[in-house]
Chain A
């Protein structure tokens, strides 16, 4: 099989949000209107792998898929002893992060797309920052979710990676291609601490 080089490039940008210093990783490809993509909780920007290399989309949009801090290649904050705190992501901090990231990347009138908790924050951005985005696309979003804590993800006697991966199995339709289902499972085995 011949070697294939792909177009998306990866880069880091350091930003400060509410006093926290984040080194943020993102993948980018395409030209045109910025399309900023937020992955689901506990996952990372590989969820957008198809979009990043879609010929039709990348002809008209610059797809920017970032890793939220504590996900994928974006570390927890580099200026706090985060290991001494319980991780809680507030809607306010989440919105502030996205706005600061778009500002740091100098994006002109971007479209924001987010899935699951990314969809929820898309609605928050539309409410709180309507002038900073051309549009928002909430994917599998909810305007309200009661929320819950899933202790099994942190149980020291369970395989947290597999609990996390298998916990999202039902979120995928059984007709979905096996490769895509298992890739999602694989990504989630990497994100159990943040999920």
Chain B
């Protein structure tokens, strides 16, 4: 059973803001990204390593730097405590599964170290699908 979107957002924010690995290199971790989980879409706005806002009902013109789009089933795989092979990272899932990474890839690459650490927090927060 998936969790309520606002519960998820609060949990994901807490995990991010308290993560020591992100905090160790937080300065300049500033970007925004869309998680497209099918029926559910969220925009996470980061500023200097902390969550500035999680937009749980984004409108068509709400901006973000890059997007990760995949089926609900794939997002649930990302959220397993130990994901199955090919769901264990964004490169693996985009090469071998249905994850699409779109938007400004340069911004993703500029923030890749912190982003992949934060992405793995889904294994603790779960996903709202």
Residues of A within 8 A of B (CB): 152, 155, 157-159, 162-163, 165-167, 169-170, 173-175
Contacts and interface: CB of A to CB of B under 8 A. Distances in A.
B91 interface: yes
Interface in B67-95: 82-83, 88-92
Nearest to A175: B82
Nearest to B86: A170
Contact of B92 (A152, A155, A166, A170): A170
A159 B110 contact: yes
Contact of A158 (B83, B90, B110): B110
Contacts of B91: 167, 169-170
Contact of A174 (B83, B106, B109, B110): B83
B96 to A, nearest CB: 10
A181 to B, nearest CB: 11
A163 B88 contact: no
B113 A165 contact: yes
B116 interface: yes
B106 A162 contact: no
A167 B92 CA distance: 10
B116 A174 contact: no
B62 to A, nearest CB: 25
B116 A169 contact: yes
A170 B106 contact: no
Contacts of B113: 159, 162, 165-166
A170 B90 contact: yes
A152 B88 contact: no
A36 B92 CA distance: 31
A155 B106 CA distance: 9
Contact of A152 (B82, B90, B105, B116): B105
B3 interface: no
Contacts of B106: 155, 157-158
Nearest to A189: B113
Contacts of A166: 112-113, 116
A152 B109 contact: yes
A169 to B, nearest CB: 6
A163 B109 CA distance: 6
A89 to B, nearest CB: 22
A170 B89 CA distance: 5
10 closest Cβ pairs, A-B complex: A170-B89, A162-B113, A158-B109, A166-B112, A170-B92, A170-B91, A152-B109, A174-B88, A166-B113, A163-B109
